[in-house]
Amino acid sequence: MTASTCFATEGLTKRFPRVTALDALTVSAGTGVTGLVGANGAGKSTLIKILLGLAAPTAGRASVLGMDAITQGPQIRRAVGYMPEHDCLPPDMSATEFVVHMARMSGLPRTAARERAADTLRHVGLQEERYRPIGGYSTGMRQRVKLAQALVHDPKLIFLDEPTNGLDPQGRDEMLALIRRIGTEFGISVLVTSHLLGELERVCDHVIVIDGGRLLRSSAIREFTRTTQAVAIEVEDGLESLAERLGRMGEAVAVQGRLLTVQVPPDADPARTFDAVRDAVCDLDLHLVRLEQRRGRIEDVFKENTVKDPAPKEPAV
């Protein structure tokens, strides 16, 4: 582990009676904004709870900012902010009262707590409504209050569990922009989870993908897009014969409706793939409608994995 490591796990396992939520997970993340991506039930919230010292692992180790998650939970929670996934706000309190209370709970004196709460609520974009009871807030406003209470004690690192949940597209964009600002302008490292894969590539420096409690991939965002480059092709007729020809030439092809995609191998020059496609289209005398380079998206990691999975078994009758 280096000085810039925000958290690290080694063989981290969490078994519940009926399910293994984390399965020998070994992963680490540095400073900046890290995305933790996985479908519902992948183990994201369980990982966060273990990192905060709120749940004990069945096996393995975890550390946060150099502190041991099993024995130093209280110290970790002092240095780390946590925005939980589910609604946990008192409906009868105003945002100001609640965030001041959370600041006081973290040890700030009364005046400092008031000032910090006012600053934090302004940063997350809550204006006059902060004096009204939370019970009347929209989902977007409630998410902002949850974010403010995670930030109010001036943490070095924050864990945001599904912060865009329940938001409309505009609310989601605003929340993502806010997360990016927290990571850049405020200099606070962020671990943010989402099951909506596409949205994280806009704000993260690094992405960790887990599935069924296991690590699928962990890499810098530029690595994700670089290694999943593809060339998309549309022809008037003859898509199948083009796919077959390119396949025989050793290209990794996939047909999606009227579109044919050819994966550019990692570290290869896309120009070589373009040439191969051009030659095949000429040889087959096809009419080319579209030929374009596509940068891969995080979703592709899941698609790749799905392809490798065996077909589901027929249920027993």
Ligand X SMILES: Nc1ncnc2c1ncn2[C@@H]1O[C@H](COP(=O)(O)OP(=O)(O)OP(=O)(O)O)[C@@H](O)[C@H]1O
Give the residue with the Cβ less far from ligand X, 193 or 229: 193
Give the residue with the Cβ less far from ligand X, 49 or 153: 49
Which span sits near ligand X by CB under 6 A: 35-43, 249-257, 274-282, 307-315?
A: 35-43
Tokens matching residue 52: 């905060």
Helices (H), the chain: 44-51, 73-79, 95-105, 110-123, 139-151, 169-184, 197-200, 221-227, 239-248, 270-283, 299-308
41 binds ligand X (CB under 6 A): yes
214: β partners: 211
CB of 48 to ligand X, least distance (A): 8
43 binds ligand X (CB under 6 A): yes
Q: What are the Cα distances from residue 146, in Å, to 24, 62, 95, 118, 149?
A: 31, 25, 9, 14, 5
Give the residue with the Cβ less far from ligand X, 162 or 174: 162
Q: Report residue 253 CA to chain centroid gap.
A: 28
CB of 50 to ligand X, least distance (A): 10
- 141 within 8 A of 126, measured Cβ to Cβ: yes
Sole binder of ligand X in the list 31, 46, 94, 96 (CB under 6 A) = 46
CB of 201 to ligand X, least distance (A): 18
Give the residue with the Cβ less far from ligand X, 96 or 194: 194
Sole binder of ligand X in the list 21, 113, 160, 190 (CB under 6 A) = 21
Q: What are the Cα distances from residue 266, in Å, to 225, 229, 230, 297?
A: 10, 8, 10, 14
Sole binder of ligand X in the list 8, 9, 29, 44 (CB under 6 A) = 44
CB of 189 to ligand X, least distance (A): 20
Give the residue with the Cβ less far from ligand X, 88 or 112: 88
Nearest-CA neighbor of 200 among 212, 190, 188, 186? 190
| Residues in 255-314 that interact with ligand X by CB under 6 A | none
Q: How many residues bind ligand X (CB under 6 A)?
A: 12
Give the residue with the Cβ less far from ligand X, 163 or 183: 163
SS3 content of the chain, % helix, strand, coil (to 5): 40, 25, 35
Give the residue with the Cβ less far from ligand X, 162 or 201: 162
Tokens matching residue 23: 């399965």
38 binds ligand X (CB under 6 A): yes
Tokens matching residue 10: 């080694």
Return d(Cα 248, Cα 264) in angstroms, integer. Answer: 16
Nearest-CA neighbor of 28 among 61, 55, 52? 61
Which span sits near ligand X by CB under 6 A: 13-21, 240-248, 284-292, 295-303?
A: 13-21
CB of 165 to ligand X, least distance (A): 8
45 binds ligand X (CB under 6 A): yes
40 binds ligand X (CB under 6 A): yes
- 63 within 8 A of 47, measured Cβ to Cβ: no
Which span sits near ligand X by CB under 6 A: 33-41, 107-115, 141-149, 296-304?
A: 33-41
42 binds ligand X (CB under 6 A): yes
- 226 within 8 A of 294, measured Cβ to Cβ: no
| Residues in 143-202 that interact with ligand X by CB under 6 A | 162
Binding site for ligand X (CB under 6 A): 16, 19, 21, 38, 40-46, 162
